[in-house]
């Protein structure tokens, strides 16, 4: 059977041509972590993680952060921003001669979601092993007593989501008066409407002299101004400003009627049985609906959104991470920062409401050196949003040309034709015949 969602080879467009940025990257690639003047234990931890050379953003961020500068760093999705701030922060603390255990928290890393807190906490934990630096990760949705017990022990770096942190500050379990470094990961989001009040509140509570680090893949002019207004003389580091998504992501858009999307998703999953696929939808209700639609055609998936119990959220993330479940249906709660290996496809089942979330969603694939495919299902109603995204990205997204026959074949292809799915599942023969039916359509490159 000819595949509709066939993985085409990567085309090399002008962004691949050598340019100054590329040249600078080449220079970077000659540098190795072992050449850095950083703590030996950190080097060993880096080597255990398989990190040999710094990425571009790491190369450029580590020296100014070590020097104590304020930094605003913008670099593509999946290019190692976490280690770019974690390495110098841990190093500085470890080197601090008078690092006293009962001194309180010295560095606060704020992130927007619990899963991201856990993931970044894990990076800090791994990179600080066998150093004198102690880290802890705090988030809501779980019982707070064990967290309080941990906070009362010695602690240098706290990675947290704002909600639970404020709870524990108001209960007197967290003191901010020793913090000399504040990191906002997904900084543009943290400085946006939902979070800005909390951030300003935190800033006011910190010692007057402290270092502030902003990291993200996207930022707009307004938020940039706001970020600069919060610090004195920030160093701005921007890698590949025109291309917020890593180059190894291949983008395409398929024009599909809203009601037909599930059939195309079914087809994409069926044609790629070995692939990890992350499906983004607009709302929690839609996430559960897509889950049910897949269940009806015997496709196992899991969902994640803010209505779910935190235990479930962590559990589905780990099932998806391990590959035990290959399809995760998510709202934008998982769009930012999440680093799961080998996600081969990101499907925008619905278009994101904010253009920058396109970048963050598709940035869940093509991480590090991996390659990834971003497929967007766009209905007629969503075409204006697609235009906005293309403007934001500064380029058009390749259109998958689905011929009429092929489109209809996809609707036939389903196990769920006309909603008469039970009959179809019972009728194995008919199902097998359908699978053998060839597709006539081809895709435009
Ligand atoms: P970002 O925050 O820029 O989206 P992450 O910090 O989540 O990216 O890192 C993306 C992936 O790259 C992670 O899986 C991480 O382990 C890996 N990585 C980071 N730095 C390096 C490095 N220097 N060498 C190899 N892999 C790296
Ligand atoms: Mg990140």
Domain membership of residue 55 (yes or no) is yes
Using a 6 Å cutoff on CB, does residue 216 contact ligand 1? no
**C-alpha angle with apex 357: 16 to 76, nearest 5 degrees?**
35
Which pLDDT score, from 0 to 100, does residue 414 have? 76
Q: Which phi and psi angles does 376 have, rounded to 5°?
A: -110, 125
Nearest-CA residue for atom 4 of ligand 1? 78
3-class SS shares of the chain: helix, strand, coil, % to 5: 45, 15, 40
Give the bridge partners for 212, in sequence order: 182
Lowest mean pLDDT among 35-44, 320-329, 401-410: 401-410
Domain membership of residue 221 (yes or no) is yes
Which pLDDT score, from 0 to 100, does residue 6 have? 59
Does 10 score more than 70 pLDDT? Answer: no
d(CA 265, CA 305): 19
Pair (230, 264) in one structural domain: no
Structure letter (DSSP) for residue 290: H
Residue that terminates a domain, selected from 187, 203, 238:
238
Which pLDDT score, from 0 to 100, does residue 5 have? 72
Q: Quick one: pLDDT band at residue 2, thresholds 50, 70, 90?
A: low
Does 72 score more than 60 pLDDT? Answer: yes
Distance 54 CA to ligand 1 centre (A): 9
Q: Which domain holds residue 178?
A: 25-238
Using a 6 Å cutoff on CB, does residue 82 contact ligand 1? yes
d(CA 293, CA 53): 45
Tokens representing 16 are 């691949």
- How many domains does the chain fold into? 2
Using a 6 Å cutoff on CB, does residue 331 contact ligand 1? no
Pair (224, 326) in one structural domain: no
Which pLDDT score, from 0 to 100, does residue 30 have? 80
**Number of neighbours of residue 53 by Cβ within 10 angstroms:** 15
Is the entire prediction scored with pTM above 0.85? yes
Pair (309, 346) in one structural domain: yes
Using a 6 Å cutoff on CB, does residue 120 contact ligand 1? no
Does 69 score more than 90 pLDDT? Answer: yes
Nearest-CA residue for atom 26 of ligand 1? 51
Which protein residues have a CB closer than 5 Å to ligand 2 (ion)? 81, 337
Q: Quick one: pLDDT band at residue 100, thresholds 50, 70, 90?
A: low
Give the bridge partners for 236, in sequence order: 72
CATH number at residue 150: 3.40.50.300
Q: Quick one: pLDDT band at residue 120, thresholds 50, 70, 90?
A: very high
Domain membership of residue 176 (yes or no) is yes
Q: What percent of the chain has pLDDT over 90?
A: 78
* Element containing residue 44 per DSSP (H, E): helix 40-48
Which pLDDT score, from 0 to 100, does residue 343 have? 97
Domain membership of residue 30 (yes or no) is yes
Pair (220, 260) in one structural domain: no
Structure letter (DSSP) for residue 393: H
Domain membership of residue 433 (yes or no) is no
Using a 6 Å cutoff on CB, does residue 51 contact ligand 1? yes
d(CA 175, CA 163): 15
Distance 185 CA to ligand 1 centre (A): 14
């Amino acid at each position: 059977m000819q595949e509709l969602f066939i993985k085409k080879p990567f085309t090399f467009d002008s962004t691949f041509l050598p340019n100054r940025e590329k040249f600078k990257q080449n220079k970077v690639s000659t540098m190795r972590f072992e050449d850095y003047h950083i703590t030996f234990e950190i080097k060993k931890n880096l080597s255990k993680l398989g990190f040999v050379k710094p990425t571009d953003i790491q190369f450029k961020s580590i020296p100014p952060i070590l020097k104590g500068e304020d930094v605003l760093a913008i670099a593509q999705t999946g290019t190692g921003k976490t280690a770019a701030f974690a390495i110098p922060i841990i190093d500085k603390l470890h080197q601090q001669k008078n690092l006293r255990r009962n001194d309180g928290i010295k560095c606060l890393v704020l992130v927007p979601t619990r899963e991201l807190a856990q993931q970044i906490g894990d990076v800090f934990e791994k990179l600080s092993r066998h150093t004198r630096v102690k880290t802890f990760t705090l988030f809501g949705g779980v019982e707070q007593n064990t967290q309080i017990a941990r906070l009362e022990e010695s602690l240098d770096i706290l990675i947290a989501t704002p909600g639970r942190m404020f709870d524990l500050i108001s209960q007197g379990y967290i003191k901010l008066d020793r913090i000399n470094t504040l990191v906002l990961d997904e900084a543009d989001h943290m400085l946006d409407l939902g979070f800005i009040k909390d951030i300003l509140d935190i800033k006011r509570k910190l010692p007057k002299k402290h270092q502030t680090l902003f990291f993200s893949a996207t930022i707009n002019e307004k938020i940039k101004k706001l970020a600069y207004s919060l610090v004195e003389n920030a160093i701005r580091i921007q890698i590949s400003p025109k291309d917020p998504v890593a180059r190894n992501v291949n983008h395409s858009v398929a024009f599909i009627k809203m009601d037909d999307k599930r059939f195309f998703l079914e087809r994409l999953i069926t044609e790629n049985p070995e692939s990890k696929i992350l499906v983004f939808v607009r709302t929690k209700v839609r996430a559960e609906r897509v889950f049910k639609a897949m269940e009806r055609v015997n496709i196992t998936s899991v969902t994640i959104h803010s209505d779910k119990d935190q235990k479930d959220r962590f559990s589905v993330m780990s099932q998806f991470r391990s590959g035990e479940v290959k399809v995760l249906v998510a709202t934008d709660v998982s769009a930012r920062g999440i680093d799961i290996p080998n996600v081969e496809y990101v499907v925008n089942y619905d278009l994101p409401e904010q253009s920058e979330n396109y970048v963050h969603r598709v940035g869940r694939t093509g991480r590090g050196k991996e390659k990834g495919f971003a497929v967007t299902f766009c209905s007629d109603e969503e075409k204006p949003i697609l235009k906005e995204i293309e403007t934001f990205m500064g380029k058009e997204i390749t259109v998958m040309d689905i011929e009429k026959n092929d489109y209809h074949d996809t609707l036939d292809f389903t196990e769920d034709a006309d909603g008469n799915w039970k009959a179809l599942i019972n009728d194995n023969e008919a199902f097998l015949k359908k699978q053998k039916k060839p597709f006539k359509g081809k895709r435009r490159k």
